[in-house]
């Protein structure tokens, strides 16, 4: 029986879901949402905070500040609360309401950027705001998930080895691309220790990470409007781009089987199934990293009006995504 004293000490690292019955292709999802932060971002958050403490960057009077579309902000809120730090999360208007409320419930201060920058979109505007805060006081400590090497190191040390242990015959690994910390950490590990494994990055249409044209993206998590400094594209074998409507469809199909996953997971699953459907070998051993769960998307991805307004009727797998309110 595990007994912990701080929330970051618990993380389920060995749970996989076989979704072949859902999508018709063999694919195992590594579920990373079963911890107190609710996503894979707990690993990067813990690694970056611990490194800052070792390096003497964090003191009792420090105020952590970070730009986040949501999940990293929740993870840092939780860790800051457990360690006694103040934390300011700079997010934008696309961040789910449930996520913002969760960060505030954990004691964090949330700054919401309402207008994208002319260069760099919402991400550029968030980073500009963080830099202004840091310049205003020496108390602010910016971990900077976009350049921090410990972001990827967390997955080199934990996520990738865990997958290799469970799947010694792995053929292909699908990893979503946001800051590319998870992607780079896993790619470096497999290049070094299991080079036969193919690394397929999954990105959102409208993201500039791999050189695509910028476009509207309404689902937070994967994709960027500024090319991630951590990215080394030479470590990636292929890239699959997923439309947000396909993200929604994948989430709905999983939900119809009782698996409520988040938007990042829906994107990764959609990209993985698209890639697998184009392969001649049906016996490939494939794993996809599922970064998040779906509760924080109940007012967006799983809400009929929101989906219809942004993506049209075709994005709906069934006439109703949310049950009607009971009659008074």
| Catalytic positions, written as ranges | 41, 264
Report in angstroms the alpha-carbon separations of 31 from 171, 180, 299.
Answer: 19, 18, 22
Q: Which residues are within 8 A (CB) of 322 and not within 5 positions of it... i.e. 6 or more apart?
A: 298, 302, 303, 304
Q: How big is the chain by its Cα radius of gyration, in Å?
A: 19
Burial 142-173 (b: 16+ CB within 10 A, else e): bbbbbebebbbbbbbebbbbebbeebeebebb
Report the half-sphere exposure of 216 (CA within 13 A, side-chain side).
Answer: 5
* 3-class SS of residue 93: coil
Q: Of the candidates 121, 145, 141, which has an alpha carbon nearest to the alpha carbon of residue 42?
A: 145
Rounded-to-integer distance, Cα 35 and Cα 10, Å: 6
Q: How big is the CA angle at 99 (ends 7 and 315), to the nearest 5 degrees? A: 125
* 3-class SS of residue 286: strand
Q: Tabulate helix, strand, coil % of the chain (nearest 5).
A: 40, 15, 45
Pairing of strands 63-67, 286-290: unpaired
Contact 302, 255 (CB under 8 A): yes
Tokens 């799947």 appear where?
167
What letter does residue 41 receive in the DSSP assignment? H
* 3-class SS of residue 176: strand
CB atoms within 10 A of CB 81: 18
């Amino acid at each position: 029986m595990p007994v912990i004293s701080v929330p970051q000490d618990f993380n389920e690292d060995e749970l996989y879901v076989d979704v072949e019955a859902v999508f018709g292709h063999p694919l195992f999802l590594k579920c990373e949402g079963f911890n107190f932060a609710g996503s894979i971002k707990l690993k990067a958050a813990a690694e970056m905070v611990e490194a800052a403490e070792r390096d003497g960057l964090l003191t009792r009077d420090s105020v952590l500040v970070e730009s986040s579309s949501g999940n990293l902000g929740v993870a840092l809120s939780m860790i800051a609360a457990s360690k006694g730090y103040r934390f300011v999360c700079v997010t934008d208007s696309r961040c789910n309401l449930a996520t913002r409320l969760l960060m505030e419930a954990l004691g964090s201060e949330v700054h919401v950027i309402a207008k994208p920058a002319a260069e760099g979109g919402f991400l550029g505007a968030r980073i500009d705001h963080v830099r202004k805060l840091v310049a205003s006081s020496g108390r602010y400590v910016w971990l900077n998930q976009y350049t921090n090497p410990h972001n990827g190191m967390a997955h080199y040390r934990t996520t990738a080895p865990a997958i290799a242990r469970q799947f010694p015959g792995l053929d292909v690994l699908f990893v979503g691309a946001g800051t590319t910390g998870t992607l780079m950490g896993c790619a470096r590990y497999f290049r070094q220790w299991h080079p036969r494994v193919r690394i397929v990055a999954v990105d959102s249409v409208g993201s500039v990470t791999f050189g695509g044209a910028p476009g509207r993206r309404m689902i937070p998590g994967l994709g960027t409007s500024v090319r991630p400094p951590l990215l080394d594209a030479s470590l990636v074998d292929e890239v699959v781009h997923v439309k947000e409507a396909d993200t929604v469809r994948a989430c709905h199909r999983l939900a119809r089987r009782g698996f409520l996953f988040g938007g990042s997971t829906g994107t990764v699953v959609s990209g993985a199934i698209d890639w697998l459907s184009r392969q001649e070998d049906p016996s490939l051993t494939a794993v996809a990293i599922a970064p998040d769960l779906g509760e924080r998307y109940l007012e967006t991805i799983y809400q009929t009006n929101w989906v219809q307004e942004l993506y049209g009727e075709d994005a709906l797998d069934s006439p109703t995504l949310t049950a009607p309110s009971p009659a008074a």
